[in-house]
Amino acid sequence: MTTDPRTGMTVLDEDACWSLLGSASIARVAVAIAGDVEVFPVNIVVDERTVVFRTGEGTKLAASVIAPRVAVEADGVDPARGRAWSVVVKGRAERLERFTDIYRAEDLALPSWTEHPKQWFVRVYCDQITGRSFQTASA
Amino acid sequence: MTTDPRTGMTVLDEDACWSLLGSASIARVAVAIAGDVEVFPVNIVVDERTVVFRTGEGTKLAASVIAPRVAVEADGVDPARGRAWSVVVKGRAERLERFTDIYRAEDLALPSWTEHPKQWFVRVYCDQITGRSFQTASA
């Protein structure tokens, strides 16, 4: 990890990024669809350096399986240390279709904001993870 | 506002969307750049149905002025009501260049996570605002 003495911003290494992402239950998925950009909050769980989330069938977010390149962002503030952090995973989103994959995903402790009758599981395979932390201005 | 009795999801009207967005100090800006999608957390303030944020000169986010179509998403949970909400503004991002515009932006109560020597103000003119709220599963 390297910290810029001028800005106080720290570039996080991969292990730190995965650790912080694993502590987040909510993230936002961004996807470019037909010249537009969509961004949605989702509940996530990290599973062996992939990101798993659920989405309702037929939602715009389900279109992420058509435009499989997605960015998943989570952020938070550690009040004790006065530092904010943000982590972004970029990668390929894949809807789980095989029963074994779906059963495995159902065993993950994936929180849900809401209940929908039909839900898909989507797994994001990471090409790149980046993160940074910085002192909050109020600290 | 309409609520789907099956899912408990409420589609928020524009006034409710702006009100919730105005209560948020952090949002995420998503932008499609050169076939990729970027998403960043920013501190925001709502000003007359536009969204204003700051970004450091030379950052990837500054590229949003090159790809001016952005989506800005904020979300939160109202624990008292057990309802989560998410609001998305889509529109055109414009970097402020005229002194009068910059002075006006500096008067906004725009919080900052960090301090950078050179910062740009970006204003997002809304083409579309959408939002929804839903009962959290734990409520």
Question: Running DSSP on this structure, what letter comes out for residue B130?
Answer: E
Residue B23 has which token pair? 């209560």
Chain A residue nearest residue B138, CA to CA: A113
Q: How confident is the model at residue A61 (pLDDT cuts 50, 70, 90)?
A: low
Pull the structure tokens for residue A57: 């069938």
In a domain, A136, yes or no: no
More confident residue, B42 or A72: A72
- Which of A28, A36, A114 has its CB closest to that of B8? A114
- Looking at the domain assignment, is residue A135 inside a domain? no
Report which secondary-structure segment, H or E, holds A18: helix A14-23
Whether residue B137 and residue A115 make contact (CB cut-off 8 A), yes or no, is yes
**Amino acid A135: pLDDT:** 78
Number of domains in chain A: 1
Q: Do A134 and B113 touch (CB under 8 A)?
A: yes
CB contact under 8 A, A88 and B39: yes
* Average pLDDT estimate for A29-56: 88
Q: Is B83 on the interface with A (CB under 8 A)?
A: no
The lowest-confidence range among A23-37, A55-69, B5-19, B29-43 is A55-69
The pLDDT-based confidence of B85 (bands split at 50, 70, 90) is very high
CATH of the domain at B8: 2.30.110.10
**What's the pLDDT tens digit per position in B99-133?**
888 878 787 877 766 655 567 889 999 999 999 99
Query: Chain B residue closest to A75 (CA)?
Result: B41
Residue B1 structure tokens: 């506002």
* Residue-range definition of the domain harbouring residue B90: 2-135
- Which of B87, B113, B130, B138 is the best substitution to test chain A (most A C-beta atoms within 10 A)? B113
The string of pLDDT tens digits covering residues A103-118 is 787 878 777 666 555 6
Task: Tell me what percent of chain A is helix, strand and coil, each rounded to the nearest 5.
Answer: 15, 50, 30
Q: Of the candidates B88, B133, B31, B76, which has an alpha carbon nearest to the alpha carbon of residue A88? A: B31
- The closest alpha carbon to A52, from A14, A104, A88, A16, belongs to A104
Asked if the model's pLDDT at residue B39 lies above 80, the reply is yes
Point out the residue among B71, B114, B117 whose CB comes nearest to the CB of A137: B114
* ipTM, 2 dp: 0.83
Q: Is residue A76 part of a domain?
A: yes
Instruction: Tell me, yes or no, whether A139 lies in a domain.
Output: no
The pLDDT assigned to B139 comes to 39
Look-up of token digits 């939002």 = B131
pLDDT tens digits, residue range B42-77?
Answer: 889 999 999 999 887 666 666 666 668 899 999 998
The tokens for B24 are 């948020």
Contacts of B84 (CB under 8 A, 6+ apart): A113, A114, B75, B76, B77, B78, B133, B134, B136
Residue A13 lies in a domain: yes
Mutation target vs B (from A33, A37, A55; most B CBs, 10 A cutoff): A37
Q: What is the pLDDT of residue A104?
A: 81
The reported pLDDT for the residue numbered A27 is 94
CB-based burial, B79-112: b 16+ in 10 Å, e otherwise: eeeebbbbbbbbbebbbbeeeeeeeebeeeebee
Residue A33 lies in a domain: yes
Q: Is B38 on the interface with A (CB under 8 A)?
A: yes
DSSP B6-59: TT--EEPPHHHHHHHHHH-SEEEEEEEETTEEEEEEEEEEEETTEEEEEEETTS
